[in-house]
Amino acid sequence: MSETAFTFAQRVSRLKPSMIRELMKLMGRPGLVSLGGGLPSAASFPAEALRAAAQCVLSQAPREALQYATTEGLPALREWVAERLRQRGLAVQATQVLITSGSQQGLDLVAKLLLEKGAKVAVESPTYLGALQAFAPYEADAVEVACDEAGPLPESLHEVAGARALYLLPNFQNPTGRCIPDERRIAIANQAKKQGLALIEDDPYGDLWFDQAPPPPVAAHWPEGTVYLGSFSKILAPGLRLGYAVAPAPVYDLLVNAKQAADLHSGTFAQHLVIELLRTGMLDTHLGEVRAQYCLGRDAMAQALHSYMRDLATWQVPQGGMFFWLTLAPKIDAAALLPQAIEQGVSFVPGVAFFATRPMHHSIRLSFVTEPADRIEQGVAALAQVIRRALATQSGQAQ
């Protein structure tokens, strides 16, 4: 008899739990000011509208809404996504839209098609942690593209020549909050096209703008070379687990096959609920409310950072999305401060979690959408104190 019935595939060594998901377990601590997780504000969920939608769907079409469905997703939802993207400047047909179980699944499926051992995938620096996690089991090596405040540097893309794809999050990026300007999008698309470098464009936050909508997607400038991923998590509710992938024809068919093997199709009932919600026309009003609420959070955090942190960190004020990105003094190791911060009643995510290869240890991601304004101020003040104490201790040690 063998003790070890299980022999694992080599890729298992690449599987790592997310630092953020591990943090979420701590964040259940009562009273903790959560500036850590990327949880959308629960106050923004359209619970009443969903209640009405559930009644409607389960009265009018219970058999369809509870049955298996086609892998591609429900036609009405695919059509809605295509129309919405057309309004944003991306020429898309419903036949190119695959409904996914959140945009995280879109990342997994694209990685399954494109990545393998010995291949490279290029990412921003820093980049979305969940993308690094999704790519990891496929054993490609993630390489970082040089970035400035406006995003990846087009002239640096030649350094990742031969990569299977460049993963981009152009709108209010997680973690930096950065929005890539239109000219830069065009330059990146042109350079990628020249190199034959495929793009994976991830856009969960594009609708969460404060003053003006972001420029058209990068995909608009190179549709044949881009897989575009979107999500209903940040505009309706993450608990429905619905997102979408848009891809040019040959990639699309493979994505559908991969999706079918992975989970047959996404939730039928959840898709019916969202179709019913969208049919009522509530989305634009709802989005207006979410934007106004998140803008208040952004303003509260900008104010609190100015009050408590202006000698401790630098940052850009984000024009949408959910996050501030702080750069501290280089001698600070943000991860080492986390236990003290939690003790002082505030959580954050150490920036080191978001780098593929060259971690910046003195960086921090703060979310401004989970907590109300007064608690944001309280959390930032507590965090400032922790950082200040660390700086004092280190100065003391240096003497």
Of residues 199-258, which lie at the interface with its own copies (CB under 8 A)? 199, 222, 224-225, 233, 237-241, 250-251, 254, 256-258
Check binding of 108 to its own copies (CB under 8 A): yes
CB of 289 to its own copies, least distance (A): 15
Collapsed DSSP state (helix, strand, coil) of residue 166: strand
CB of 149 to its own copies, least distance (A): 27
Q: Taking contact as CB under 8 A, which single stretch among the options 126-134, 348-356, 358-366, 388-396 is the one that binds its own copies?
A: 126-134
CB of 385 to its own copies, least distance (A): 29
Q: By C-beta, is 208 or 387 nearer to its own copies?
A: 208
The pairs formed by 304-313 with CB atoms below 8 angstroms and a separation of 24 or more are 304/376, 304/377, 304/379, 304/380, 304/381, 305/380, 307/377, 307/380, 307/381, 308/380, 308/381, 308/383, 308/384, 309/380, 309/383, 309/384, 309/387, 312/384, 312/387, 312/388, 312/391, 313/364, 313/387
- Whole-number Å distance between alpha carbons of 328 and 309: 10
Q: By C-beta, is 196 or 281 nearer to its own copies?
A: 196
Number of residues that bind its own copies (CB under 8 A): 94
Check binding of 375 to its own copies (CB under 8 A): no
Q: For its own copies, which residue of 123, 134, 180, 313 counts as binding (CB under 8 A)?
A: 134
CB of 364 to its own copies, least distance (A): 21
Look at the alpha carbons of 18, 20, 24, 26 in this order and tell me if their dihedral is positive or negative.
positive
CB of 370 to its own copies, least distance (A): 10
In degrees and rounded to multiples of 5, residue 366 shows phi and psi of -120, 135
- Whole-number Å distance between alpha carbons of 118 and 74: 37
Q: For its own copies, which residue of 23, 81, 96, 112 counts as binding (CB under 8 A)?
A: 112
Q: Taking contact as CB under 8 A, which single stretch among the options 99-107, 177-185, 318-326, 389-397 is the one that binds its own copies?
A: 99-107
Binding pattern for the stretch 29-68 against its own copies, x by CB under 8 A and - elsewhere: --------x-xx-xx-x-x--xx--xx--xx--xxxxxxx
Check binding of 76 to its own copies (CB under 8 A): no
Interacting positions 297-336 with its own copies (CB under 8 A): none
In degrees and rounded to multiples of 5, residue 332 shows phi and psi of -85, 130
Q: For its own copies, which residue of 26, 70, 344, 372 counts as binding (CB under 8 A)?
A: 70
CB of 55 to its own copies, least distance (A): 7
Q: For its own copies, which residue of 32, 33, 69, 208 counts as binding (CB under 8 A)?
A: 69
Binding pattern for the stretch 6-25 against its own copies, x by CB under 8 A and - elsewhere: xxxxxxx--xxxx--x--xx
**In the chain, which ranges are E strands?**
33-34, 97-100, 120-123, 141-144, 147-148, 151-152, 166-168, 199-202, 226-231, 243-246, 313-314, 323-328, 346-347, 349-350, 363-367
DSSP-based helix, strand, coil % in the chain, nearest 5: 50, 15, 35
CA atoms within 13 A on the CB side of 320: 25
Q: By C-beta, is 79 or 299 nearer to its own copies?
A: 79
CB of 58 to its own copies, least distance (A): 4
Q: By C-beta, is 195 or 316 nearer to its own copies?
A: 195
140 touches 119 (CB < 8 A): yes
Interacting positions 149-168 with its own copies (CB under 8 A): 164
Cα separation values, 100 from 97, 347, 359, Å:
9, 31, 31
CB of 49 to its own copies, least distance (A): 10
175 preceded by cis ω (within 30°)? yes
Q: For its own copies, which residue of 32, 34, 71, 350 counts as binding (CB under 8 A)?
A: 71
Collapsed DSSP state (helix, strand, coil) of residue 122: strand
Q: Taking contact as CB under 8 A, which single stretch among the options 115-123, 294-302, 318-326, 347-355 is the one that binds its own copies?
A: 115-123
